Structure 1
Amino acid sequence: MKKNQFRLLGVMSGTSLDGVDVVAVQFDFNSTTRYKILHAATISYDKLWKQKLSSAVNLQEEELAHFNFAYTRYLGHILKDFIRKYELKELDAICSHGHTVKHEPQNKYTLQIGNLEELAQITGQKVVCDFRVQDVKLGGQGAPLVPVGDKLLFAEYDYCLNLGGFANISTEENNQRIAYDLCAVNTVLNYYAEKLGHEYDEGGKIAASGNLIKALYEQLNSKEYYTAKFPKSLGIEWVNMEIFPLISQFKNNIPDVLHTYTKHIAFQISAAVKTSPEAKVLVTGGGAFNDFLMQELRKKCSAQFVLPSAALINFKEALIFAFLGALRLRGENNILKSVTGAEKDHSSGVIFLP
């Protein structure tokens, strides 16, 4: 008989590099699937770890293997401290996304570091991790993976929009879940805010003070990716090749760049949402706190953009990776071919025992 109740840790580190999101959550599969967040925290990266993680994409194979081991140890001690701090007993598993360093589905390759067996040994807990690799081997994009949680946990919304390092969206179309990455968000916005000495542009105030660079806005929106059919996904490699070089051609001040790029984000999101006043869009991720971005979105699109509790805004992705782990432990599919383009729906995730 399948287990119906789980106490899990969900762990997520996103491309925006704000830190490791950890959520302790309880799931109940008895009738409809229900969840309860017990504890949650973001453990911020210090300057050195931010620097290491942002440049890891350039490491050679042997250096990357060493870095993977070092990051796994670092992550293991963060999780061990979290378990101790909240006196968590009888956890069924830690369900960890790891941190994406390389994402090249076109080459059948994706790498999330921090997913080594040492994670189970350090924490003393069962670990479910490395969710993306199997999907890529099956011809999928390996991303986005959150939509199965959107479908089963947040079905009352017409769209689920996440505004993290990248924006991604999921919805039902022709009775199946579809989802894809829309554009880069905080990977770009934070990069330019840091040039002015800020970790991020709080509330989008710097962007709001700028002016539109019309030629940049038009060239950003003409990127080939935006007209490609889904399934499709983005990685930091695309930002480094397509976005930063384009922006650098314009010698404008940073407030103008942030203003223009924020309007570009709003345009790309509004293009993906059917503009109906009845459509409800659940908005999560750090970008949900960007007031200027939300204002621009509401200008361009008549749908209802719903901001849930701060806990759900900050920890929805970590929560859903815990859910993916629960599905894996139940032997149920946790990745949908309609989303990633894989050969079949499947149950993904490597399991390590302590």
Structure 2
Amino acid sequence: MLKGGAVWALGTMSGTSLDGVDAAMVLTDGERILEFGETAYRAYTPAERATLRAALGHWPGAAEVEAAAEVVEAAHAELLGRFRGAELVGFHGQTLAHEPGGRGTHQAGSGERLARALGVPVVWDFRSADVKLGGQGAPLAPFYHFACARHLGADRPLAFLNLGGVGNLTWVDPRQSSPEAPGACLAFDTGPANAPLNDLMQARFGRTQDEGGRLAARGRVDEAVVGRFLENAFFYRMPPKSLDRNAFADLVEAVAGLADADAAATLTAAAAAAVARGAGHFPTPVARLLVTGGGRRNATLMAMLEARTGSEVVPVEQVGLDGDMLEAQAFAFLAVRVARGLPTSGPSTTGVAACVSGGRISRPEELAVGA
């Protein structure tokens, strides 16, 4: 059993950008953030990244999936083994396929294997219960965003924007009693963020990203491509809603005939336009978007966001948070909520019919007995 009060939890995130694994410690009781702890990052090697990329879109049973799971588990065990003092681990795994309303959701990596390797209880498979109950299974960070807003002392609604492979927004009202309370949170995926641009850079230059948005800054946006992109039915659906990383794979094809800089600029503008369209769903407008994820380092994307949303757009570091580690911290926080039976998602964040506490817990002592 998890002891009462606050515990040091260790969370991980391996996002859809396929860059590597983030890990972060948080002292929390599952409702409040009491202290931020140690953080670390382990990049995937080019060979590991290729293995993961080959498994995208595949479901359990495929040979590509087992190879990807081995990469994910080994990388996490190596990174998490450096930490000391964690009483609980929140292990997200690597999303390979996400099809709510269809085949479900699939994150590669076994929490049981990780619990055996680390000797610490591991909470994992966070998304499946939500999807089985009719939810989107994503995004899952909103309840943590609510805790962050409270930690910052916010007294009015604000929004968090995560720019990973896919973009997602969380609107929170910290004046509410809890993240699951009516009117406390609204969250949804906005559309593709870094993924199409990263794929373009990989295909044309063998590089993982447009560093700082420098290539896009030299290009001209093809607004006709952006306009057609925004005609997709996804943008007309009311939130909550979520996307698979490759849901807009044809966007890269749409810029195939453009020069390199113009293609990069157009994909960057599409990501910004998707966020602007999403912000129209907020219950009340916000003056500022707090940006986390790798996209906040893309100066061209940040400028386009400000221009298209009309809001101030700032990295979360400006308010004292860690934009590299926010999602890893979120899964540390959510792991404690799962262990204590607290909700991790609700109708306004994933569209699930009622609040649900997702996740499985693998305890090393139980695994040893059952081995």
Q: Same fold (TM over 0.5)?
A: yes
1:107 alignment partner in structure 2: 102
Distance across 2 between alignment mates of 1:306 and 1:72:
32
1:329 partnered with 2:330: no
1:258 partnered with 2:253: no
1:316 alignment partner in structure 2: 326
Displacement of 1:183 in angstroms is: 1.2
Q: Deviations over 1:42-87 (max 9, x none)?
A: 200001111111110355724155335523541443234322xxxx
Q: Is the 8 A contact 1:76 1:123 kept in 2?
A: no
1:187 alignment partner in structure 2: 195
Code of the aligned partner of 1:264: A
1:48 partnered with 2:47: yes
Distance across 2 between alignment mates of 1:277 and 1:351:
38
Displacement of 1:301 in angstroms is: 2.8
1:131 alignment partner in structure 2: 126
Larger CA deviation: 334-343 vs 47-56: 334-343
Which one of the candidate residues 115, 118, 123 is aligned to 2:113? 118
1:202 alignment partner in structure 2: 211
2:67 alignment partner in structure 1: 67
Code of the aligned partner of 2:118: T
Which one of the candidate residues 251, 274, 283 is aligned to 1:268? 274
Distance across 1 between alignment mates of 2:285 and 2:248:
33
1:37 alignment partner in structure 2: 36
Larger CA deviation: 149-158 vs 71-80: 71-80
Distance across 2 between alignment mates of 1:140 and 1:28:
25
Distance across 2 between alignment mates of 1:273 and 1:101:
27
Distance across 2 between alignment mates of 1:59 and 1:103:
10
Q: Is the 8 A contact 1:148 1:336 kept in 2?
A: no
Q: Deviations over 1:138-169 (max 9, x none)?
A: 01110011111112222525111111111100
Shift in CA distance, 69/258, structure 1 to aligned 2, threshold 3 Å? closer
Distance across 1 between alignment mates of 2:100 and 2:133:
10
Code of the aligned partner of 2:334: L
Identity between Structure 1 and Structure 2 (%): 31
Q: Is the 8 A contact 1:79 1:123 kept in 2?
A: no
Shift in CA distance, 69/238, structure 1 to aligned 2, threshold 3 Å? closer
Q: Deviations over 1:162-211 (max 9, x none)?
A: 11111100114872421110111111111122222432111101001011
Q: Is the 8 A contact 2:40 2:79 kept in 1?
A: no
- Normalising to structure 2: TM-score of the pair? 0.86
1:217 partnered with 2:226: yes
**Any stretches of 5+ residues in structure 2 without a counterpart?**
174-181, 365-371
Q: Is the 8 A contact 1:284 1:313 kept in 2?
A: yes
Displacement of 1:41 in angstroms is: 1.7
CA RMSD of aligned residues (A): 2.3
Code of the aligned partner of 2:55: A
Shift in CA distance, 62/204, structure 1 to aligned 2, threshold 3 Å? closer
Larger CA deviation: 7-16 vs 192-201: 192-201
Distance across 2 between alignment mates of 1:341 and 1:59:
25
2:179 alignment partner in structure 1: none
Displacement of 1:2 in angstroms is: 7.0
1:306 partnered with 2:314: yes
Q: Is the 8 A contact 2:166 2:192 kept in 1?
A: yes
Code of the aligned partner of 1:67: A
1:347 partnered with 2:322: no
Shift in CA distance, 59/137, structure 1 to aligned 2, threshold 3 Å? closer
Count of residue pairs the alignment pairs up? 344
Distance across 1 between alignment mates of 2:293 and 2:10:
18
Displacement of 1:291 in angstroms is: 0.6
Q: Deviations over 1:246-268 (max 9, x none)?
A: 333xx111210110111122222
Code of the aligned partner of 1:340: T
Distance across 2 between alignment mates of 1:150 and 1:73:
27
Code of the aligned partner of 1:40: T
Q: Is the 8 A contact 2:58 2:96 kept in 1?
A: no
> What SS does the corresponding residue of 2:171 show, helix, strand or coil?
strand
Larger CA deviation: 289-298 vs 306-315: 306-315
Code of the aligned partner of 2:241: K
Q: Is the 8 A contact 2:68 2:108 kept in 1?
A: yes
- Normalising to structure 1: TM-score of the pair? 0.90
1:142 alignment partner in structure 2: 137
Which one of the candidate residues 238, 260, 273 is aligned to 2:247? 238
Displacement of 1:277 in angstroms is: 8.8
1:294 alignment partner in structure 2: 302
**Any stretches of 5+ residues in structure 1 without a counterpart?**
none
Code of the aligned partner of 1:20: V
Q: Is the 8 A contact 2:200 2:252 kept in 1?
A: no
Distance across 2 between alignment mates of 1:108 and 1:38:
37
Shift in CA distance, 278/143, structure 1 to aligned 2, threshold 3 Å? closer
Displacement of 1:99 in angstroms is: 0.5
Q: Is the 8 A contact 1:25 1:37 kept in 2?
A: yes
Q: Is the 8 A contact 1:93 1:126 kept in 2?
A: yes
> What SS does the corresponding residue of 1:17 show, helix, strand or coil?
coil
Code of the aligned partner of 1:74: A
